[in-house]
Amino acid sequence: MLIYIRVLMFFVIIVLFCCNNNYCQEKNKVDSLIKVIKSVKSDTIKIDACSQLFSIYEFTDTIKAKLFLEQQFNLSKNIDNSKWLAGVYTNYAFYNEDKSDLIRAIEFHQKALKLYKENIALPIVKRSKQISACYNNIALIYGKMGVYDKALDYYLFSLKIDEILGDSLWISVSYTNIGIIQRKLGNDDKALEYYFKSLKIVENLGEKSRMSTCYNNIGLAYQYKKEYDKAILYLSKSLMIDEKINDIRRMSGCYNNLGNVYFEIDEYDKCIYYYKKSLDLRYQIGDKEGQSSVLGNIAALNLKLKQYEEAINNAKKSNLIAKEIGVIPWQSSAVAILSATYDSLGNYKNAYEYQKLYKSLNDSMFSIESSRQIKGMEAKYESEKKRKEIELLNKDRQLQDTEIKQQIIIKYAFIFGFILMGLLVIVVYRNYRNKQMANVILSQQKEEILTQRDEIVAQRDLVTEQKEHIEKIHKDVTDSINYAKRIQEAVLPVSETARSVLGEHFILFKPKNIVSGDFYWTTKINNLLFVAVADCTGHGVPGAFMSMLGISFLNEIAQKQEIIKANQILNNLRKEIINALQQKGVQGEQKDGMDISLLVVNTETNECQWAGANNPLYIVPSVIPNESEESSLNINIAAHENCSFQAQNDNRELIELKGDKMPIAIYPTMNDFTNHEFILHKGDSVYLFTDGYADQFGGNNGRKFMCKQFKEILINNMHKSMPEQKVILDETFENWKGVYDQIDDVTVLGIRI
Residue 498: pLDDT over 80: no
Q: CB of 296 within 8 A of CB of 260?
A: no
pLDDT (mean) for 109-133: 83
Residue 283 neighbours by CB under 8 Å, 6+ apart: 291, 588
Q: What percent of the chain has pLDDT over 70?
A: 80
What pLDDT is attached to residue 406?
62
| Burial zone of 146 (CB within 10 Å; 0-12 exposed, 13-18 middle, 19+ buried) | buried
Pure H helices in 606-651: 632-637
- DSSP secondary structure, 506-527, as one string: EEEEE-SSSS-SEEEEEEEETT
Question: 529 in helix, strand or coil?
Answer: strand
Closest C-alpha to 660, from 648, 649, 672:
672
Closest C-alpha to 176, from 195, 203, 204:
195
DSSP state of 502: G
Residue 28: pLDDT over 50: yes
Q: What is the pLDDT of residues 205-248, one digit of tens each?
A: 888 888 999 999 999 899 888 999 999 999 999 999 999 989 99
Q: Side chain identity at 393, as an amino acid letter?
A: L
Q: What percent of the chain has pLDDT over 90?
A: 38
Q: What is the pLDDT of residues 329-370, one digit of tens each?
A: 888 889 999 999 999 998 988 888 888 888 888 776 655 444
What pLDDT is attached to residue 10?
41
| Burial zone of 553 (CB within 10 Å; 0-12 exposed, 13-18 middle, 19+ buried) | buried
Least confident segment among 31-40, 178-187, 250-259, 577-586: 31-40
Residue 39: pLDDT over 80: no
DSSP state of 651: G
Question: 638 in helix, strand or coil?
Answer: coil
What pLDDT is attached to residue 162?
86
How far is it, in rounded angstroms, from Cα 725 to Cα 718?
Answer: 8
Half-sphere exposure of 205 (CA within 13 A, CB side): 18
Pure H helices in 305-416: 308-325, 328-344, 348-365, 368-415
Pure H helices in 582-660: 632-637
pLDDT tier at 636, thresholds 50, 70, 90: very low
How far is it, in rounded angstroms, from Cα 115 to Cα 121?
Answer: 11
Q: CB of 596 within 8 A of CB of 520?
A: no
Least confident segment among 372-386, 488-502, 662-676: 372-386
What pLDDT is attached to residue 269?
92
Compare 584 and 722 and report the one with higher pLDDT.
722
Angle among Cα 68, 70, 72 to the nearest 5 degrees reads 70
Could you tell me how far CA 687 lies from the centroid of its own chain? 33
How far is it, in rounded angstroms, from Cα 613 to Cα 533?
Answer: 11
DSSP tally for the chain: helices H, then strands E: 25, 13
pLDDT (mean) for 166-181: 88
Provide the pairing of β-strand 617-620 with 685-689.
antiparallel
What pLDDT is attached to residue 456?
77
Q: CB of 112 within 8 A of CB of 90?
A: yes
Q: Side chain identity at 246, as an amino acid letter?
A: N
| First-to-last C-alpha distance (Å) of the chain | 31
In the sheet with 594-602, reading across from the earlier edge strand, the strands are 518-525, 528-536, 594-602, 607-613, 676-679
Partners of 689 in the β-ladder:
748
pLDDT tier at 696, thresholds 50, 70, 90: very high
Residue 475: pLDDT over 90: no
pLDDT tier at 591, thresholds 50, 70, 90: confident
Q: What is the pLDDT of residues 402-437, one digit of tens each?
A: 555 666 666 665 576 667 777 777 877 777 777 766
Question: 678 in helix, strand or coil?
Answer: strand
What pLDDT is attached to residue 651?
65
Please compute Rg for the chain using Cα positions.
Answer: 34
Residue 548: pLDDT over 50: yes
